[in-house]
A and B are shown apart, each in its own frame.
Chain A
Amino acid sequence: MRRLKRNWQPLLASTLTAISAAWLPLTQPGAPVPIQGMTIALLLLAAALNVILTLEDRGHAIRAGVLFIGAHIPAGMLLSGLDGNEGQMSASFFLMITASWLLAWGTVSELAQIEPRSSAARSFLRLLIPAIFGVWILILWEAVTRGAGIPFILLPPPSAIGARIAGSIATLWADVQQTIFKAVLFGYVVGCASGFAVAILADRFAFLRRGLIPIGNMVSALPIIGVAPIMVMWFGFDWQSKAAVVIIMTFFPMLVNTVAGLATAGTMERDLMRSYASDYWQTLIKLRLPAAMPFIFNALKINSTLALIGAIVAEFFGTPIVGMGFRISTEIGRMNVDMVWAEIAVAALIGSVFYGVVALVERATTFWHPSNRGG
């Protein structure tokens, strides 16, 4: 039972390989470049059986290594067999891709059980596991879109998107400069800073707090992106109108979160400050702002996502002929979906980096918070 549980991925993979070997070739009759695929089947079988039989009692690292090689060499061969055979692959091909995917799954589950001693090995594993995951999303995407001949318009394969990115670096870079470096960064900095400043004012003056916070809460829940066309009317077609949208979108989350954060310091901590006859600003800087940091970073993280969405979508309503949102809306009209996907990929990458940087600064700043301690 334990044996079955530990080996179910290679067991299932070898079964699938055996079935698919009976249905060879990998291509449908009449494919331009017919492929037998016996070698791949043998490789898969060998890797799976090796893991089940001879590596039964070995450590996780060795099993993971064999599974890794056994999954990825056949997968690479299968993908290279796609050239010229788009939409012409047989069931045997998909069974073998599934089998190698199962071996990759086995790799990850073995890797996840390794308990590394050095911290370098630990961070390497922390990167390796999601990397294998991500790569397999791309492999399966590629195999399905090209193997089954899914129309390019519906979903282009990642290889085509990658080629498009490589071929359009200049255009993409110009778009990133326009949208990210101008609209997003400027809007984010100004929106967050003014939200923060107004929060401090609202904290100091009760009438502002009473009037502004309920409105802030309400506006935070609105689809503010709707004001984008109006901003274009007010501030023109260039990046300033997009920055304005970003400012409006990021202002209220920062305001509301900062005001909430300033209220979190405990009564005893405040009484302590009072007993030192500390003035308003001293209490603010030495107690209430540090206590509010988790809230402020929460707003910074929410806003990093909002700013990106805001700037890209705002460009749908009119821009000069450059910008990520502009490119997406025009290229989709010309059916150049690979360019659309290329922009999406770039936006996803920048969004993750942006969020990641904010999260890193957060960890360094709020290390003392119970949720971050010892991590």
Chain B
Amino acid sequence: MSVTPPSVVSARKLGLTFQTGDGPVHALSNVDLEVRKGDFVSFIGPSGCGKTTFLRVIADLEKNTDGEITVNGMTPEEARKSRSYGYVFQAPALYPWRTIEKNVALPLEIMGHSAAERAKRIERTLDLVNLSGFGKKYPWQLSGGMQQRASIARALAFDADLLLMDEPFGALDEIVRDHLNAQLLKLWARTEKTICFVTHSIPEAVYLSTRIVVMSPRPGRVTDVIESTLPKERPLEIRETPEFLEIAHRVREGLRAGHSYEE
């Protein structure tokens, strides 16, 4: 490509230190990262390496203590206030007193969309995550996987260009996960959103991403950034190709290097 797409997330020497009762915890240190429009970036690394924290800094749910970060060229706070991202948490976090439909409508109500517009978007996003027909159910009447899909529908409903997803499929079985991965890729290809995706699964990271960010703990930092050479069109079978396995191997090596650093 000759023209580089605009930057969506840009971190320079980003650091975050939590002050806790047992002294400071360096959750992030010296993170340099550039996420461009249309990227699908996966974050992978051992537990506690700061993946969630990094996503939360982008989302302005946590403030960095060092370095700089811009989101869509603004400070994270300005970006949050202009509703530039949708966040999918590790748990569905649906409100039990609202039906699935009303849960999806929640951001739309807050952002002041009209009732007709809400109805249209609810139908479209529930269809997108294969939940049409479940709109009138309450979250606790649905399986865990369906709840997680509803929470994705909620994040998609207001059409933010940036999607932050924290292990959204972590609690699901392999088959459902494969299915949702494929659907997510389709969605990404169709809507040209920028996605930051946290995962513990190497195949998931490789299958989904255009770039894989490998992180390591204490202090949390980026140890490797792997550009994927896979084509944009990815059937599930691509996971058996030598090219796929080669990238997965490099991610694994990167993770190992991060670990050995510790010992």
Contact = CB atoms under 8 A, between A and B. Distances in A.
Interface stretch (A21-29, A193-201, A215-223, A265-273): A265-273
B138 interface: yes
Contacts of A278: 110
Interface stretch (A67-75, A115-123, A282-290, A309-317): A282-290
Nearest to B154: A272
Nearest to A366: B97
Contact of A274 (B80, B86, B93, B111): B80
Contact of B93 (A269, A276, A282): A269
A277 interface: yes
Interface in A287-330: 287, 290, 293
A276 B59 CA distance: 10
B89 A271 contact: yes
Interface in A98-151: none
A275 B59 contact: yes
Contacts of A207: none
A273 B154 CA distance: 12
A369 interface: yes
Interface string A332-375: 00000000000000000000000000000000001011100100
Interface in B100-134: 106-107, 109-111
Contact of B107 (A276, A290, A366): A276
A370 B144 CA distance: 16
Contacts of A271: 61, 87, 89
A290 B110 contact: no
A369 to B, nearest CB: 7
Contacts of B91: 268
Contact of A368 (B96, B109, B110): B96
B18 interface: no
Contact of B138 (A268, A272, A287, A368): A368
B54 interface: no
B81 interface: yes
Interface in A40-95: none
Contact of B140 (A275, A277, A293, A373): A373
A286 B110 CA distance: 9
Contact of B96 (A268, A286, A369): A369
A275 B93 contact: no
Interface in B58-113: 59-61, 80-83, 85-87, 89, 91, 93, 95-97, 106-107, 109-111
B149 to A, nearest CB: 16
A276 B83 contact: yes
Nearest to B83: A277
How many residues of B sit at the interface, in one of the four size bands? 20 to 34
A275 B85 contact: yes
A114 B101 CA distance: 40
A268 B154 CA distance: 14
Contacts of A273: 110
A275 B96 CA distance: 19
A3 B85 CA distance: 71
Given A275-B87, A278-B110, A290 B81 contact: no
Contacts of B87: 271-272, 275
Contacts of A287: 95
A286 to B, nearest CB: 7
B93 A290 contact: no
A64 B235 CA distance: 67
A268 B111 contact: no
Nearest to B87: A275
B106 A274 contact: no
A277 B80 contact: yes
A277 B81 contact: yes
Contacts of B106: 276, 286
Contact of A268 (B60, B89, B140): B89
Interface of B: 59-61, 80-83, 85-87, 89, 91, 93, 95-97, 106-107, 109-111, 138, 140, 158
Given A268-B89, A368-B138, 16 more contacts: A266-B93, A271-B61, A271-B87, A273-B110, A274-B61, A274-B80, A275-B59, A275-B61, A275-B85, A276-B107, A276-B111, A277-B81, A286-B110, A287-B95, A366-B97, A369-B96
23 contacts: A266-B93, A268-B89, A272-B87, A272-B93, A273-B110, A274-B60, A274-B61, A274-B80, A275-B59, A275-B61, A275-B80, A275-B85, A276-B107, A277-B81, A277-B82, A277-B83, A282-B110, A286-B95, A290-B95, A368-B96, A368-B138, A369-B96, A370-B140
